[in-house]
């Protein structure tokens, strides 16, 4: 979810062997790759597992799972967890998890996710591990980081990144925007007393920026974030903006030099044609390429949330662009 949704969403994706062949409705925004099978999704995180399969986890009442052998054809694979951990009910009456983030390190897969309730920052980011990354194999380790109503940030929408031998987690939704905290790589949880760094916000309330994802490429860290309103089907105004920094903790700025703490951020992907309100993004690497995974609301299918996948290209001056 990104702050205000509780959608029953599932996952899907597309093929690395192919680039878009359909005509784009807007030359600035190429269409995502065509998919088959189960395509419904929200807040996707995609990863290639050690057995060669691709797994996608997403928001939607459960942390739903989808599997593919080729990034094009996707099948339903159930739920990441066989049962909700009991501590989830402290943050959500129906134990509804949001916005997962999947990564691999130290011989294990790590799954981060948020648990919160509509319109509050009484929130938690949980962490679980698995030897295979497959649904049904996760061991939950409880909250990795929390926020309370007295805080000026919201502990949802986790996004992990490693930098200079340290482990960091970007997070945040509304409540002054995107933040970052350092994690203990052994426990995967926030270091007690660690500084919470501010990465991006809007100059005006309600500070509608959330769903961070950080990508390291060349000498820069790139901060992608979702701006404006999700979760309203064809009325969604979500869009993805990006800035960069030579340091993982910022300051991040767009191509004009405007800091993301002052409302900056280059427009990276916006509504075009049937693809309404793209956001909830994450990145992953496979077969020598970097891909952006996100959801959009299909204007030809009553605003159903679906998975978009676009490979990334890079401009001469080092900015990402969707293919």
Over residues 235-255, the pLDDT tens digits come to 999 999 999 999 999 999 999
Task: Kindly report, residue by residue over 112-125, the tens digit of the pLDDT.
Answer: 999 999 899 999 99
**Which residues belong to the active site?**
43, 210
| Cα–Cα distance measured from residue 99 to residue 31, given in angstroms and rounded to the nearest whole number | 23
Residue pLDDT, tens place only, 168-222? 999 999 999 999 999 999 999 999 999 999 999 999 999 999 999 999 999 999 9
The one-character DSSP state at 206 is: T
What pLDDT, in 10s, does the model give residues 37-93?
999 999 999 999 999 999 999 998 899 999 999 999 999 999 999 999 999 999 999
Query: Burial code of 72-108, b = ≥16 C-beta within 10 A, e = fewer?
Result: bbbebbebbbeebbeebeebbeebbbbbbbbbeeeeb
Task: Map residue 234 onto helix, strand or coil.
Answer: helix
- Assigned domain for 149 exists: yes
Residue 14 lies in a domain: no
Domain count, the chain: 1
CATH number of the domain enclosing 280: 2.115.10.20
Report which of residues 16 and 4 the model is more confident about: 4
Residue 98 has pLDDT above 60, yes or no: yes
Going by pLDDT thresholds of 50, 70 and 90, the confidence category of residue 262 is: very high
Asked if residue 127 belongs to a domain, the reply is: yes
**Does residue 24 form part of some domain?**
no
* Contact by Cβ (8 Å): 76, 82: no
Considering the domain boundaries, does residue 284 fall inside one? yes
Domain that holds residue 246: 36-322
Flag whether 234 is in a domain: yes
For residue 7, pLDDT over 50 is answered with no
Q: What is the pLDDT of residues 145-183, one digit of tens each?
A: 999 999 999 999 999 999 999 999 999 999 999 999 999
CB contact set of 34 (below 8 Å; sequence gap of 6+): 14, 18, 20, 21, 22, 72
User: Quick check: is 26 in a domain?
Assistant: no
Q: Is residue 43 part of a domain?
A: yes
CB 238 within 8 A of CB 226: yes
């Amino acid at each position: 979810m990104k702050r205000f949704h509780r959608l029953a969403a599932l996952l899907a994706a597309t093929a690395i062997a192919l680039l878009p062949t359909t005509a784009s409705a807007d030359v600035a925004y190429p269409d995502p790759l065509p998919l088959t099978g189960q395509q419904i999704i929200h807040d996707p995180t995609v990863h290639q597992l050690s057995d060669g399969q691709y797994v996608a986890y997403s928001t939607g009442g459960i942390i739903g799972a989808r599997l593919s052998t080729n990034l094009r054809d996707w099948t339903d694979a159930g739920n990441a967890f066989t049962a909700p951990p009991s501590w989830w009910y402290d943050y959500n009456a129906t134990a509804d998890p949001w916005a997962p983030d999947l990564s691999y390190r130290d011989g294990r897969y790590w799954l981060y996710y948020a648990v919160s309730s509509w319109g509050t920052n009484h929130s938690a980011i949980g962490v679980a591990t698995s030897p295979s990354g497959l649904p049904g194999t996760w061991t939950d380790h409880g909250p990795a980081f929390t926020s309370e109503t007295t805080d000026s940030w919201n502990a949802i929408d986790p996004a992990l990144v490693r930098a200079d031998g340290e482990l960091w987690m970007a997070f945040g939704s509304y409540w002054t925007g995107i933040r970052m905290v350092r994690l203990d790589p052994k426990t995967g949880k926030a270091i007690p007393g660690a500084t919470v760094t501010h990465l991006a916000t809007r100059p005006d309330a309600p500070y509608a920026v959330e769903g961070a994802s950080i990508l390291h490429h060349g000498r820069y860290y790139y901060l992608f974030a979702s701006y404006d309103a999700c979760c309203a089907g064809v009325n969604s105004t979500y869009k993805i903006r990006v800035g960069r920094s030579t340091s993982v903790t910022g300051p991040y700025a767009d191509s004009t030099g405007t800091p993301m703490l002052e409302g900056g951020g280059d427009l990276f992907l916006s509504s075009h044609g049937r693809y309404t309100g793209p956001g909830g993004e994450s990145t992953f690497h496979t077969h020598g390429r970097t891909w952006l995974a996100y959801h959009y609301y299909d204007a030809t299918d009553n605003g159903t949330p679906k998975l978009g996948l676009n490979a990334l290209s890079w401009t001469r001056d080092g900015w990402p662009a969707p293919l």
